[in-house]
Chain A
Amino acid sequence: MSLFDRLLGRGRASVTVPVMDGPFLPNQKLEAAEVLTPLSEADNLLPHQGALHASSGAKLVRLGLAGGVEIVETFNAPISALASRGAALAVALDGHGVEIRGGAFDGKSIPAHGEGLRCVTAAAWLSDQELLVCSGSAVARPHEWRRSLMQLDVSGTILRVDLKTGTISKLAGDLAWPAGIAVAGGQIFVAESWRHRILAMPLSGGAAQPALAGLPAYPARISPGASGGFWLSFYSVRNQLVEFILQEHVYRRRMIAEIPEPFWMAPSLSSGHNFKEPMQGSQLKQMGILKPYSVSRSYGLVAYCDARMMPVGSFHSRADGRRHGTVGCCEFGDVLYVASKGSNAVMRIASPMTALSE
């Protein structure tokens, strides 16, 4: 970035955020969605052995399709990722590697030796004995995602774990918080959150290419959809001020060092809980109303992309809503389930493909 650009705020120093338009045109469908069940720290939704599973902190839970929560197992650390293949379920734990439940390697535990598996943000099975893993960062843990973003962390890697031999090989490195992974059509799709894009890598090996770039939000997990596409969930929307602070290194460093994390001017899974949280101009309630189009640190967004990773449509919970921090979703039996970690709930949207185009 040239000095000239920095002085004038041009080129790479400009702070423009893509507008929510086209397939990302805002609506209130996520905000209005029916709540399946309240679930604290709801995350990692996936179908496993014909039932809907999710994580709630350190607990692995099975969700009844008409409501009801059944605890399957409680782990010794928060669950940061889940991946299912047949009877096998890979469970990544915050800071503690990966555990396998069911299938050929039942009970196997791969410790987080060194930096490798401390920060597993997403996982996907490649075959019955091979697991693909997103390591978000070499310096942060999964719950420290904001810290990773504000530190301009680009130490994320994609790892291939061979469960039989225990070998771990690196497929890609220097990623800015890979947070979602899916294998389809001979390609590996990876959500590179802090660069607001989805990468595609050939399974046969080779360099990663952006499949979808310039997203208006920070993508989290990629979940395969029933009609051949993908559901993308997002941490939060991009905010012009956050992008600006990412270039203001003195302020950024002092903020990280001096201010408690909940009060950072940084994206968040939910907001408005404490009067010490930062406020931005358009968030001022006018005549009793918070404008839905005001900027926000937290947001609820789930988008559907086709098989070529082209966005088709999306569900929103906007600045005035509550269903924020929608980091996980899955389509199961013509219903889209969305985990709102920010509001501790799981929502359901019936016939999601129809709802998209409504």
Chain B
Amino acid sequence: MSLSTDIVRWRYKLLPDHVVGEILTKKWVDSAIPFLALVLLIFGFGPFVPHFFELTTLSNLARQFSEFGLLVLGLTVVMISGGIDLSIGSVFALSVLTQLIGMNVEGWSFTTSLLATLGVGVLCGAINGAMVGYVRMRAFLTTLVTLVIYRSIFDLVFPQFSTAIVTTQPDSPMLDTLGDGTIGGIPVSFAITAVIAIALHVVLSRTRYGWRLLAVGGARRSAFNAGINVRWTIFSAYVFGSVLCSLSGFLFAARIGSAASDVGAGLELQALTATVLGGISLGGGRGTVAKAVMGAVFVLLLSNSLLTMAVSGPGADLILGLILILAVFLDVRWTKNRHKLLRNVYISPTYAKLPAPLSADEGSSSPLAPNDTLRDVGVIGLGILEGAEDVIFDRNDILYTGNRHGDILKWFPPNYTRYEVLAHIGGSPLGMAFDRDGRLNVCVAGMGLYQVEMDGTVRRLTAETNRSLFSIVDDSNMKLADDLDIAPDGSIYFSEATTRFEMHDWYADALESRGNGRIIRYDPATKQTKTILPDLVFPNGICMSHDNQSFLFAESWACRISKYYFDGPKKGSVEVVIANLPGYPDNINRSSDGGYWVALMGMRTPALDLALEMPGFRRRMARRCSEDVWLMPNLNTGCVLKFDETGEVSESLWDLGGKNHPMITSMREHKGVLYLCGIFNNRMGTYRLPDADPTFCGVDSYWGPAK
């Protein structure tokens, strides 16, 4: 092996690039960019701006945040609902005015003026909400107009009271506490905002109202079709947003105690910058409180720093505007390209060089020499039986199999032309095994491990296992439960082929050829589910050995059959039985002569074997080429092998070119006949074995003769 292949091998061993794709599937990556921007700002500006990290600066910042943060949260709610509120600056100004008139001029009590101020917020929000939600006017224009109207009202009223406001001071301890009191060193107003933020986070992420808000913002029509009261939801979002604005105004007035004629002007620009920068989508439906908070802190830090560095007001506005443009640009590009990016990076093939295969040359004397034994065989259910992955028989010769519609079918002897549906599970029923009590246990792709009683009752045994410590995707749920077998003590061992892909994307896992799968044990006594063998390369067939201490399992993309000891002196160890199959093994089942049958779903091809050594080539192929043209194993070949306990192959049965049986996924010997299944085939094959025991029945082989 040359140095360059060593480098490739180690690079794929040490750098797990599939992690990138898995991180991108997480919802929280949306917050990664604003978070990075915030960190950059703190460490980029911190050392240069005087007093940046001092306590008084932080305390001052906290008070400013309590007001600005509420504004941003209010705008966030409106934006999540799919709208926009430009009038927040004017509502803020009106609220400040109301509070000052109430407390300074009219001498209302704290509670009365708080209620009056919030009432102004409700009124303003209701006007916006009614026009946008019920009259269905454009949010942008509507709130632009109300911005002007509310501002005009402020400009008309303010001069009447401006002198009175500055000449009298209210006598309210509550107000003073709100303005500059602290609780344990934390400003009171900050504590209020923090509580509101946490409450809002819970509402948005954990309650029905929050979900409906997100649904309406994300897809208004779908939300309507789903029965959500879209108009009311939008209306309420505007009202809620305005109330937060007015509370913000109240806190501001409590802190400052007076107002200038330009109070609140330009706040909408700042708040909008904060939300968009935080990653709250302008298109609606996406956004969290955490993002809003990050955006708000960013804008506050930036504007304060600019102020400290003596940048003029218009200059600071200019910088803020430029940042808003940049944030909007990033928002648009990210929303548009996130899925593309994910699709491009999710499939991440790894170095998977296979050992040279066992020779299967035509005309050789090897037991693997191809033949056409399986080309002309008996057929069951042609055109009716769609997608039988596995088959099993009970002691009465009744045949059980699954199909792609999610049914368990029961076919009756002797001709197997009559059938009935035993049970409908859903998903894709794959491997099957009878337990000691004659119940049928089935692995169902996309669902988990199920049990079917002979009266048709379906029971879920397990669909969840322990989550592994360092996995990024949640691997506790089961994506592709594949095959199972049952140990003498009743515990069920089953394989989950991959934790990274759904069943219909199985070929993407083939392209990756990484150890994405695992073998899981379910103990019916304790009902415990536990992963016992992680990181297997598409573990597929499982079959109890005749020694009752171990089971054989096939790893498809590794072309390997191994043995795991669950009992006896070698308990817990894994031994490789066949390391270099000429094809990709699927299900394994017992044969009547004490050996095992294994189905090869497809054959190795030199072109694919070479690609397996070149992960970069496969990754680019996955990105550039359509799935229809990807290199795959040669699946249009049917092949079944018989091997013994030592891994010696004694016989091979083929359908070259897959005339009747391409991609054989399972086979089962029953009373001298071998039954052949294919998950993408529309039939089942029967081949009479010349030298087999004509009385062999799998159920007896496991659980002894019928009592």
Are A241 and B629 interface neighbours, CB within 8 A?
yes
CB distance from A258 to the nearest CB of B (A): 6
Q: How far is the CA of A103 from the CA of B169 in the complex (A)?
A: 124
**Is A114 close to B, CB under 8 A?**
no
Are A254 and B610 interface neighbours, CB within 8 A?
yes
| Contact of A263 with B605 at beta-carbon distance under 8 Å, contacts A251-B611, A254-B610, A280-B631 already known | yes
CB distance from A280 to the nearest CB of B (A): 5
Q: How far is the CA of A244 from the CA of B631 in the complex (A)?
A: 12
**Stretch of A84-92, A195-203, A286-294, A331-339 on the interface side:** A286-294
A278 contacts which of B626, B627, B631, B663 (Cβ < 8 Å)? B631
A244 contacts which of B370, B624, B635, B682 (Cβ < 8 Å)? B624
CB distance from A357 to the nearest CB of B (A): 31
**Is B507 close to A, CB under 8 A?**
yes
**Stretch of B37-45, B307-315, B613-621 on the interface side:** B613-621
Which of A248, A276, A286, A294 has the most chain B CB atoms closer than 10 A to its own CB?
Answer: A276
A255 contacts which of B610, B626, B630, B662 (Cβ < 8 Å)? B610
**Is A317 close to B, CB under 8 A?**
no
Q: How far is the CA of A15 from the CA of B608 in the complex (A)?
A: 20
**Is B489 close to A, CB under 8 A?**
no
Q: How far is the CA of A240 from the CA of B620 in the complex (A)?
A: 13
Chain A interface size, as a band, is: 35 or more
**Is A315 close to B, CB under 8 A?**
no
With a CB–CB cut-off of 8 A, which chain B residues contact A258? 606, 610
Are B614 and A280 interface neighbours, CB within 8 A?
no
**Is A206 close to B, CB under 8 A?**
no
| Contact of A280 with B630 at beta-carbon distance under 8 Å, contacts A9-B623, A258-B610 already known | yes
A282 contacts which of B604, B623, B628, B660 (Cβ < 8 Å)? B628
**Is B637 close to A, CB under 8 A?**
yes
Q: How far is the CA of A272 from the CA of B659 in the complex (A)?
A: 11
| Contact of A263 with B607 at beta-carbon distance under 8 Å, contacts A278-B631, A280-B628, A280-B631 already known | yes
CB distance from A235 to the nearest CB of B (A): 18
| Contact of A15 with B624 at beta-carbon distance under 8 Å, contacts A259-B607, A277-B634 already known | yes
B628 contacts which of A250, A263, A281 (Cβ < 8 Å)? A281
Are A287 and B629 interface neighbours, CB within 8 A?
no
Are A278 and B636 interface neighbours, CB within 8 A?
no
**Is A260 close to B, CB under 8 A?**
yes
With a CB–CB cut-off of 8 A, which chain A residues contact B632? 279-281, 283-284
**Is B386 close to A, CB under 8 A?**
yes
A280 contacts which of B610, B629, B663 (Cβ < 8 Å)? B629
**Is A275 close to B, CB under 8 A?**
yes
**Is B680 close to A, CB under 8 A?**
yes
With a CB–CB cut-off of 8 A, which chain A residues contact B634? 275-279
Are B624 and A278 interface neighbours, CB within 8 A?
no
Write the chain A residue with the least CB distance to B662: A285
Are B631 and A265 interface neighbours, CB within 8 A?
yes
Q: How far is the CA of A272 from the CA of B621 in the complex (A)?
A: 23
Q: How far is the CA of A277 from the CA of B603 in the complex (A)?
A: 9
Are B606 and A281 interface neighbours, CB within 8 A?
no
With a CB–CB cut-off of 8 A, which chain A residues contact B606? 258-260, 263, 276, 278
**Is B683 close to A, CB under 8 A?**
yes
With a CB–CB cut-off of 8 A, which chain B residues contact A251? 610-611, 614, 617
| Contact of A248 with B620 at beta-carbon distance under 8 Å, contacts A278-B634, A279-B633, A279-B634 already known | yes
Q: How far is the CA of A278 from the CA of B639 in the complex (A)?
A: 17
With a CB–CB cut-off of 8 A, which chain B residues contact A280? 628-632
**Is A30 close to B, CB under 8 A?**
no
With a CB–CB cut-off of 8 A, which chain A residues contact B627? 281-282
Are A241 and B625 interface neighbours, CB within 8 A?
yes
Write the chain B residue with the least CB distance to A6: B620
Q: How far is the CA of A43 from the CA of B660 in the complex (A)?
A: 33
With a CB–CB cut-off of 8 A, which chain B residues contact A288? 660, 681-683
**Is B577 close to A, CB under 8 A?**
no
Q: How far is the CA of A255 from the CA of B607 in the complex (A)?
A: 7
Are B625 and A279 interface neighbours, CB within 8 A?
no
**Is B657 close to A, CB under 8 A?**
yes
**Is A295 close to B, CB under 8 A?**
yes
Are A278 and B629 interface neighbours, CB within 8 A?
no
Are B624 and A276 interface neighbours, CB within 8 A?
no
B605 contacts which of A240, A241, A244, A276 (Cβ < 8 Å)? A276
Write the chain A residue with the least CB distance to B628: A282
B629 contacts which of A260, A276, A282 (Cβ < 8 Å)? A282
Q: List 21 A-B contacts (CB under 8 A).
A: A14-B624, A241-B629, A244-B620, A244-B629, A254-B614, A255-B607, A259-B607, A263-B605, A263-B606, A265-B631, A272-B636, A272-B657, A276-B603, A278-B634, A279-B605, A279-B631, A281-B507, A286-B680, A287-B386, A288-B683, A295-B628
Binding site for B on A (CB under 8 A): 9, 14-15, 239-241, 244, 248, 250-251, 254-255, 258-260, 263-265, 272-288, 290, 294-295
Known A9-B623, A241-B631, A276-B634; 8 more pairs at CB < 8 Å: A15-B625, A263-B605, A263-B606, A275-B370, A278-B606, A279-B636, A284-B636, A285-B658
The 3 closest A-B pairs by CB, nearest first: A282-B628, A278-B607, A287-B682
